[in-house]
Structure 1
Amino acid sequence: MFAGIGGTCLGFKQAGAEIVWANEMDKNACITYRENFGDDYLQEGDITQIDKKTIPELDILIAGFPCQAFSVAGHRKGFEDDRGNVFFQVIDVIEAQKEKPKAIMLENVKNLVGHDKGNTFKVIKKALEDQGYTIKYKVLNSMEYGNVPQNRERIYVVGFLDSKKAEAFEFPQSIPLTNNLNSIVDRVSKLEDKYYYTEASKYYEMLQESMTSYDTTYQLRRVYVRENKSNVCPTLTANMGTGGHNVPLILDHNNRIRKLTPKECLQLQGFPEDYRLPENMANSHLYKQSGNSVTVPVIRRIATNIIKVLDEEKNVQDELIEVQHA
């Protein structure tokens, strides 16, 4: 659910899962999704308008439901916001299945836990527990759990119908960050002019004075320039699609100042180099899509642990069959 351009689907596929159904309502995100996954199972449209009984049987239900209702950057209206209420579509999908999914995974902004003094998350957790799920959750930072140089904290909620499986499930451990910015960002090549700030920009002089490092990224904040000195990219946001000033900036080795490209943004989300961007799609849509997406390696590591727990039951059954045949 809320598949976007398929970051979560990709992470689960890399972990060995087969995707049988996906839903997204943003038409441009659907174009990018189909470019990479085809059109066999993507159902484009508003989830509130979809007949949940038409959704195929699922072992694992995944949902990165819209986070604007809970984001620190938003108005934080929570369930008073229609986008917050979309969470309950997850419950509707679960209830429409002949057999409830064995496991679920939800992804959202870190602030979900603290929103409305914790009441919002209590409602979400109780709704899932009322469906029979035992819940675990943890906030993971992409640069600590995905080996990508982006400072991105998200909460991941995992649930199992079988409480013993929930007990057996563990979130992945943190791993060293070995990928640095310059393994992704091209500071040598000359790219299209549209990515560069020139002397014609009213911000150029301020940027030129502030940007001195070839290892970090910068952010233009209208009246000042902020350097991210930790040698990672700041959290990529959907707002990158609303104007160039929201896109992180870099200084290349020829002292040119430019924005990150959409491709670089996707790679900072852990998408592989061969992930395709549709030709002739406006950069504003591509920036929005990368900011709305997930960090693929983090998803893959969580998915691997979910599948491992679910497959233990299958392995036991296979062993019983072998013993019976013997």
Structure 2
Amino acid sequence: MREKSPSDTPSAMNQIDLEPVLAVPPALTTRAFNLLREAGCVAMRWHSGGRYGSRTHTIDDDPTHTEALSIHHPSSEAECTRHSNGNEPSSKHLRPSVVTGTSSAKRMGLPLTLTGGAHVSSIMHTLKESRTAQYVSQTAEHISGDAIQPGDSAQTDMPRSAAAQALVDLLQLPGVELQHKPITLHTNIPKDESIDAEHIRTVEVARSRLREFSNVQIPGSGMKREEQRLEPPAFTFVELFAGIGGFGVGLEALGGKCVFASELLPSCIATYETNLCTDYITGGHVAGDIYEVPDEFIPTHDILVGGFPCQTFSGLGEQNGISDASGRGMLYTQIVRVLKAKQPQAFLLENVPGLLKCDDGEALDTIIGELINAGYDVSHEVVNAKCLTAQSRKRLYIVGLRKGLQSVYEPFTFPCIPDLGLRAIDILQSDSEIHEATPVPIENSIRGANLHADNTAHRDHAMPGCESSTKPGRSDLESLYRLSDAQLNQLTNARKWKPSKLAWPDKPLNTLNSHYGVSVGKGESQLVPSPAPHNPRRLTPRECARVMGFPDSYTLLNRDPSSRQGREAYLKEQYRMLGNAVCPPVITALAGSVLARCTGTLGHRNRDDWASTGVEVAVALSLGAVSPNRLESLLQRLQDTHVVHIVE
């Protein structure tokens, strides 16, 4: 065996820049990789280190550059003839014809994960001390998922693993050694596109705006969130089919207040009333079935908003449209009813792009026709939320302006929204964040209960003196979010799934839908890659909220420990509510342009340009949904590329 410390080399490379590499003769490369893969020592395509496939080093056999650990021929030739399946000698498969007892001139280096390198090093040191029996038992436990850490005692009476013995044979061959080499990058990593700053419209964002929606201290801000004072409402709105309040979050960011909201699902109502101001709503609570609410119960308001149910229009379903037997296709008629009865100055509606093609376009024509008959000039456009969120999400937005609102009619113009270039890395939680996060217990948050002041800075933690009985521990990351080996095996065999579909850090995520987290083994949910040897995992509810553009100040309720709802059912409920929501930053940007057309009667607090204010606040709201540990670097990038200019 040969060992050399990096400190003995001329360059004394920093260990941080090195990675463990198993050097093998070229004829052994494929066989060695397969054995290392079976032992969990190399990164696969679904691991964060294996995204672009396997890498190799060319080993020039210069011992002055790296430390090396090698073991030559075993004490007996017979020890090298056991094959992993027990049918034929391993020497036919493992011993290259070019090996003569010394290392070949050029060898291939197979990069190992850090844990894989430590495992191989432990094996080779064990073999050096002639404790092969102990190693075989240790390797058997490693492959079964319970690896013995270096220094632990092995149970020598355990049955020998064929795969473990095959790896023993490999590591004892001449020309096979463990080295540490400088980390190399893949040659097929795509290059980032350069940004032409001359063609970017810079958005000025006041630092005070960032403070409004951020749970962390913005550099140079000097004031915490809880020190802010609420301003009088600038306008009022009604929110139908409210869900968890995506419209409300976007409109409250502009200073609006809700005077009426309706929603059927109790879980959505509880989340809505926890996060949004209901002081202006009669009775202080969200109403239920809109069909049961008489016109006179709905107050006069400035803007009506709503995302009427889209299941009958979505391309993911049968697209039965307005004639759907469930009656969901006719829910838009309740919007028309309220518009006719209350005549607000404007409305903003959201639905799926599938509505454009549903019934060959007749469904949309019918809906727009009834909106026009209610007394409004109507415009519509498909807007992608990828400019303000970390996902690609196309949705159809319908804007209506009351006829006669302006003396000279001008068609509504949708705003130009800046692209923040948000990616998965900007919203993902680290494992430690997932372990520490504790959602607010639902029984202490329902019906708009006040949050403790100390809890404002991070509202998805339990309130002081109100410990949650379901506080996540380290096992929860594995049991709740991480795929099991059986699920991973099903996933890798699914035809429509490829590792490229994972939520890689530098890419936007796919559209989050209400079915997220269901049947993950079929490849229908985008998963987060993890370092080897861990399996991919699902997004957490907090990450889903960030994907949708909900700031971290938005509270996600925990399941009620006293209910019969299981943890998996609770998670699916969270995924469904978030997947059905609208993106608040997009609502803010669009609403600013809508309000700009209603300037004749609204109180504006001396705002000269609602449209630019809408875009500014939308950007600030988007940044409030960024992971705190990414915010400062993201702000720096946006300023360097002239997308955002922070003003005092």
Query: Shorter chain as normaliser: what TM range?
Result: 0.7 to 0.9
Counterpart residue number, 1:291: 579
Counterpart residue number, 2:271: 32
Counterpart residue number, 2:544: 265
Percent identity for Structure 1 against Structure 2: 30
Counterpart residue number, 2:260: 21
Larger CA deviation: 57-66 vs 278-287: 278-287
Structure number having the greater helix percentage: 1
Secondary structure in 2 matching 1:240? coil
Correspondence list, 1:1-326, <5 A:
1-37=240-276, 39-40=278-279, 41=281, 42-81=285-324, 82-97=327-342, 100-144=343-387, 147-162=388-403, 167=410, 169-189=412-432, 191=435, 192-193=477-478, 194-199=480-485, 201=486, 203-205=487-489, 222-226=494-498, 227-228=500-501, 231-240=507-516, 242-244=518-520, 246-256=524-534, 257-280=536-559, 282-312=570-600
Give the C-alpha shift of residue 308 in structure 1: 2.1
Q: Distance in 2 between matches of 1:280 and 1:126?
A: 43
Counterpart residue number, 2:92: none
Secondary structure in 2 matching 1:239? coil
Q: Distance in 2 between matches of 1:24 and 1:306?
A: 24
1:148-200 Cα shifts (integer Å, max 9, x gaps): 1111100000010136656264212142232211011125536422100132x
Counterpart residue number, 1:214: none
Give the C-alpha shift of residue 241 in structure 1: 6.1
Q: What is the identity, as a one-letter code, of the residue corresponding to 1:88?
A: T
Runs of 5+ in structure 2 lacking a partner? 1-239, 436-476, 561-569, 607-648
| Structure 1 length-normalised TM | 0.84
Q: Distance in 1 between matches of 2:420 and 2:384?
A: 11
Q: What is the identity, as a one-letter code, of the residue corresponding to 1:53?
A: E
1:60-94 Cα shifts (integer Å, max 9, x gaps): 11111000010001111111121010110111112
Q: Distance in 1 between matches of 2:400 and 2:552?
A: 32
CA contact under 8 A between 2:349 and 2:398: conserved in structure 1? yes
Tell which has more relative contact order, 1 or 2 (C-alpha 8 A, sep 6+). 1
Q: Distance in 2 between matches of 1:164 and 1:255?
A: 62
Q: CA RMSD in A?
A: 2.4
Q: What is the identity, as a one-letter code, of the residue corresponding to 2:332?
A: F
Secondary structure in 1 matching 2:257? coil
Q: For this pair of structures, how many residues does the alignment match?
A: 299
Q: Distance in 1 between matches of 2:359 and 2:386?
A: 28
Q: What is the identity, as a one-letter code, of the residue corresponding to 1:298?
A: V
Secondary structure in 2 matching 1:90? helix
Runs of 5+ in structure 1 lacking a partner? 211-220, 319-326
Secondary structure in 2 matching 1:298? helix
Give the C-alpha shift of residue 46 in structure 1: 1.3
Give the C-alpha shift of residue 111 in structure 1: 1.1
1:237-262 Cα shifts (integer Å, max 9, x gaps): 11126555544201124553100011
- C-alpha change, 1:63 and 1:12, in structure 2 (3 Å) is same
1:32-57 Cα shifts (integer Å, max 9, x gaps): 11121255434331111221220111
